[in-house]
Structure 1
Amino acid sequence: MAGTTLPTPLYGLYQEEIGFSELMVTVVFAVYAFGVIGVLLLVGNVSDTVGRRPVLLCGLACAAASAVAFLAEGGLPLLCLGRLLSGFSAGLFTGTATAYVLELAPPGRRARAAFAATAANMGGLGCGPLLSGLLAEYAPHPLVLPFAVHLVMLAASFAVTWFLPETVDGARPLRTARPRRPSLPPQVRGVFVPAGLAAFAGFSLLGVFTSVSPAFLAQDLDVHNHAVTGLIVFTAFLGSTLGQLLVPRLGTARAIPLGCLVLIAGLALLAAALAWNTLPPLVLAALVGGSGQGMGLRGAVGEIAAAAPAEHRGGALSALFVVAYFGISIPVIGIGLLAEPLGLSDAGLVFAGCMAVLAAASGLYLLRRPGAGAGAGGAG
C-alpha cells in the first residue's frame, strides 16, 4: 500500500519537469482511484472463489509494473499509467488482504486481526509519502530512488506471500476467474449504508491530503521541503491508525458516528488552515481528521466483516472500499476544477464545508437508526 501514495511529495517535481496544471494533478490522482474502483467492481469478490493468495500475488505484480512505469519517466502518459497500475494493485489488495488477515487470525483474535488489517492499510499509505519525501529531499535522484526502493520491498513481499497458506476451501484455479461485481448478501445490507457513508467522508479527507496538500504547502505556505510534505501526509494516516486503537473500547457501532464527529472537527481545522494560511492548524487537521477517519473505517470494516458470511466476506469488504475510493476521487477532482476560478484555498474551503455537511448527516443517520447504541463491547 505504501506504493500507492509514494508519488505524493513528488507531484511538484513532476509539474516542474513535465509542466501541467493543478487540475491535472487531481486528474492523475483520480486515475489511481478509478483504477481501484474498476478492479473492485469487476473482480472485487474473485478471491472468494480462486483464493486470497493468487489475488495478492497479482496485486504485487501490478504494483511492480507501476514502479517500472514511474522509473521510465516518460511524461504524463506514463505517469497516468503508473497511477492506473497502482490503482489496480490497491483494488486487488484492499478487500482481499483484509479478509485474508481476518481468516489467518487464531480463534479469539479476530478483533486484533481487524486492527492489524486496517492499520497495515493506513500505515502503508502513510509510510509511502514519508519515505519518498525523505529520499527526495536528502538523497540523489528524487524521481528514481523512491521507486527503486519500492521494487525491493515488493520483491520481499512477494517472497513472503508465496509461502502463506490458502484460507479459501476448494479454491479454483486463477484462470477460471470470471468478472463479477461485488455482491452484498442480505445480512450485510442493513449495516452497509451507514458504514459506506462514513468511509466516503473519511477517505475524502485523506484524498485531499494525498493530492492537493503539497501544492497548498508550496504555493500558500511557502513550504518546499519534500520531507515536511511527506511528514504532514504521514500524520493524517498516523491519526487514522491511532483512531482505530480507540474502537475496541467504543465498539464498532458507536465508533462510526463518533468518528464522523471527530472528522468534522478535523475539517474545521483544515478550513482554518486554508483561511489563515498557517501551518499548525493544517498539522492538527491531519491528526484529528485522520483519527476520525480511522475510527469510522475500523468500525465499518468490523461491522461488515461480522455481518458477512465467510464465502461473501471478500466481496462485501471490496464493495465498502468501492464507496470509500469514490470518496477519494470525486471530491478531489472537484477541488481541481474549482482551484482555477477560485484559487486552491477557497476551493479547499468549499470542499471542507461540503464534507462537514455529509459527515454530520452520516452521524445523525447512524445515531437514529435502530440499535445505534449496540455493539459497545466488540471490535468486530
Structure 2
Amino acid sequence: MDGDRRVWRQCSLSGAVFAVCMAGTTLPTPLYGLYQQKFGFSELIVTVVYAVYAFGVIGVLLLAGNASDAVGRRPVLLVGLACAAASAVCFLCATGLGWLYAGRLLSGLSAGLFTGAATVYVMELAPDGGASRATFVATAANMGGLGCGPLLAGILAQYAAWPLYLPFAVHLALVACSAAVLLRLAETVRERRPLSTVRPQRPGLPAQVRAVFGPAAIASFVGFALFGVFTSVSPAFLAQSLDVHNHAVSGLIVALAFFASTAGQLLVGRVGVARSLPLGCAGLLAGLALLAGALYWDLLALVVLSALVGGTGQGLAFRGALAAVAEASPADRRAAVISTLFVVAYAGISVPVIGVGVLSGPMGLEGAGLVFIACMAVLVSIAAVYLLRRPAGATRR
C-alpha cells in the first residue's frame, strides 16, 4: 500500500510538472491587448504572434517527436522546461515585437517536447492496473494547465502590479520548482540510445486509415481552430464589443473552454469511443453557433456558453479522433499516423487564426469571426454527415 502511494505521488508530481509547462503556453492570452497598446500593432499581428507557437509545436513533433524514446523522458522534459523558462525571459525582456515572436516560438518548442513525452511519462510512472487513472492525470494536466495559464495571467494583470511582467516572473519561478521536482523523479526508459539515433518522423497515412482519418482530422482541425480563436482574439472582442476590460474575466472565459475540454475527454469513457466523435462534432457545431450569436448580438452569456459547449465538443471529438485513428492504424505505422493527426490539429491553431486577423482589417473583428465560423461549420458538418452515413464500416476496414 505504501509502495503504491509513493508511485502515485510520483505520477501526480509528473502531472503537476506537465501542467506548469502547458500553462506557460497560454499565459499571454489576456495580455495581448496590453501589448497592442504598448507596441501599437494591429489585430493581424496579434494572430500571427499567437500562431508562431503552433509552428514551434509542429516542428518539434516532426523533427524530434520520438526523442524521449531514445534519450529518456526526463532529459527531454528538462529541455522542454528550459524552453519554457527562456520563453518567460523573452516576455520579461520584451521591448518590441521580436521578443514576442521569440517567446511564442520557444513556448511552442516547450509544448512540442512535452505533449508526447509527458503524457507517456505520467502513464509509465503509474502502478500496474492504474492506466485509467493515469490517463485522467495526463489529460487533466494537459488541458487543465492550458486553462490555468490565462486564468493566472488575467488575475495577476487585473489585481496586482506590473501586469506585463508579474505573470511571467511567477511562471519562471514555477518552472524552476518543476525542474527541481523532475530531477527527483524516476526515469522510466531503461535502454537509452544516443541522440544521433533520433530521426525525423515523416507524416504517414496508410490506405486502410484514410477512411477513418478524414473525419477525425477535420474534427480535430475545427476543434483546435476554435481554441485558437478563443485564445487569440476573444479578449479583443470582449473589450471592443462587450466593453469587458477586466483581464481576469477575459482569462476566465478562455480557461472555461480548456476546462470544458477536459470534461469532454473524460466523458468519452461514458459515451464510448464510437459515439464520441459524432457527438463531439455536434458539440463543436453548437459551440460555433453560440459564438456566432455572441458576435451578432454582442452577448457575453453566449460567449461563455460557446466556451463551455464548444470546449466539451472539442474534448469529445479529439479524444474520439485519437482513439479511432490509433485503432485503425497498423502497429508499425501508428506513431507516424498520430503525428500526422497532431500536425493537422495544430495547423488549425495557426492558419484559420491568421485568416481571422487578415479579415479583421477590412471587415472588423465581428465580421471576420462570422466568416471563420461559417467556414468551420461547413467543415465539421461534412465530417458529421460522413460519420452518420458510415460510422462503423469505415472503422472496421
Settle same-fold status: TM greater than 0.5. Answer: yes
Write out per-residue CA displacement over residues 230-269 of structure 1, whole angstroms, 9 at most, x where no aligned residue. Answer: 0110111111111122110111221011101011000000
Question: How far apart are 1:51 and its partner, in Å?
Answer: 2.9
Calculate percent identity across the aligned residue pairs: 68
Partner of 2:108: 87
Cα gap change, 1:232/1:244 in structure 2, threshold over 3 Å: closer, same or farther? same
SS in 2 for 1:359: helix
Aligned counterparts of 1:107 and 1:374: Cα–Cα separation in 2: 30
Superposed, 1:126-137 pairs within 5 Å as: 126-137=147-158
Partner of 2:56: 35
- RMSD over aligned CA atoms reads 2.4
Cα gap change, 1:335/1:230 in structure 2, threshold over 3 Å: closer, same or farther? same
Aligned counterparts of 1:300 and 1:258: Cα–Cα separation in 2: 11
Corresponding letter in the other structure for 1:33: A
Aligned counterparts of 1:43 and 1:53: Cα–Cα separation in 2: 15
Question: How far apart are 1:45 and its partner, in Å?
Answer: 2.5
Partner of 1:200: 221
Partner of 1:239: 260
Corresponding letter in the other structure for 2:95: G
1:147 aligns with 2:168: yes
Aligned counterparts of 1:90 and 1:46: Cα–Cα separation in 2: 14
Partner of 1:46: 67
Partner of 2:28: 7
Write out per-residue CA displacement over residues 117-155 of structure 1, whole angstroms, 9 at most, x where no aligned residue. Answer: 222211111110000000000001111110111111112
Partner of 2:323: 302
8 Å CA contact retained: 1:63, 1:89: yes
Write out per-residue CA displacement over residues 3-45 of structure 1, whole angstroms, 9 at most, x where no aligned residue. Answer: 0000000001101111100000001011111111111121122
Aligned counterparts of 2:50 and 2:240: Cα–Cα separation in 1: 19
8 Å CA contact retained: 1:242, 1:294: yes
Question: How far apart are 1:304 and its partner, in Å?
Answer: 4.5
Corresponding letter in the other structure for 1:298: R
Partner of 1:25: 46
* TM-score, normalised by the number of residues in structure 1: 0.91
Aligned counterparts of 1:141 and 1:311: Cα–Cα separation in 2: 51
8 Å CA contact retained: 1:198, 1:297: yes
1:275 aligns with 2:275: no
Aligned counterparts of 1:319 and 1:141: Cα–Cα separation in 2: 41
Partner of 1:371: 392
Q: 1:59 aligns with which of 69, 80, 87?
A: 80
Aligned counterparts of 1:95 and 1:169: Cα–Cα separation in 2: 18
Aligned counterparts of 2:81 and 2:210: Cα–Cα separation in 1: 31
Write out per-residue CA displacement over residues 174-194 of structure 1, whole angstroms, 9 at most, x where no aligned residue. Answer: 354343435567886664443
Corresponding letter in the other structure for 1:131: L
SS in 1 for 2:245: coil
Corresponding letter in the other structure for 2:177: A
Greater relative contact order (Cα 8 A, min sep 6): structure 1 or 2? 1
Question: How far apart are 1:372 and its partner, in Å?
Answer: 6.3
Unaligned runs of at least 5 residues, structure 2 = 1-21
